[in-house]
Amino acid sequence: MTDYTQLLAEAMKARENSYCPYSGFAVGAALLTTDGEIYRGCNVENSSYGATNCAERTALFAAVADGRRRGDFVAIAIAGGPKDGELIPCPPCGICRQALSEFADAAEFKVLWATGEDIEYEEHTLAELLPFGFTL
Ligand code: THU
């Protein structure tokens, strides 16, 4: 099993840039490509609430805007918890699962999230988290 400790550390670094004045919940994500590049993202909130973007989609959209496409992604690490507080398990929301499935083979792509401060994490395939995901 691959050790994603470094990717998780990148997600924790990304979390430092979280803009979350409304929820006070800071999330960072790090998306690994097949050629070893890492795209970072954080949650970016908005006073309308609805315009908020999750950390996972921020990372994914940065990668896609940089020219990355389906087949380019290996795994995403997520680190979330109260701003200035300790990490708590933060599995991706349903919209982010669907967004990731657009650009990754769900049976292969790994999703992991920090379970606490000790660089420990839980790992699943995207298919486990999004069975029967919608595709065209
Ligand atoms: N959030 C994420 O960034 N990723 C998730 O997987 C779940 C939720 C953000 C959205 C919002 O800014 C805050 O966490 C509270 O929901």
* pLDDT digit string (tens) for the chain, length 136 residues: 799 999 999 999 999 999 999 999 999 999 999 999 999 999 999 999 999 999 999 999 999 999 999 999 999 999 999 999 999 999 999 999 999 999 999 999 999 999 998 889 999 999 999 999 999 9
d(CA 13, CA 2): 20
Choose, from 37, 45, 56, 120, the residue flagged as catalytic: 56
pLDDT of amino acid 1: 77
Active site residue 122: no
pTM of the model: 0.97
Fold that domain 5-129 belongs to in CATH: Cytidine Deaminase; domain 2 (3.40.140)
Q: Are 123 and 110 in contact (CB under 8 A)?
A: yes
Is residue 96 within 6 Å of ligand 1 at its C-beta?
Answer: yes
Specify the 3-state DSSP secondary structure of 54.
coil
Give the largest Cα separation in the chain, rounded: 42
pLDDT of amino acid 96: 98
pLDDT of amino acid 4: 97
Cβ contacts of 129 within 8 Å, gap of 6 or more: 91, 92, 97, 111
Token pair for residue 95?
A: 């919209």
Q: Are 11 and 30 in contact (CB under 8 A)?
A: yes
In degrees, rounded to 5, the angle at the alpha carbon of residue 35 between the alpha carbons of residues 32 and 39 is: 35
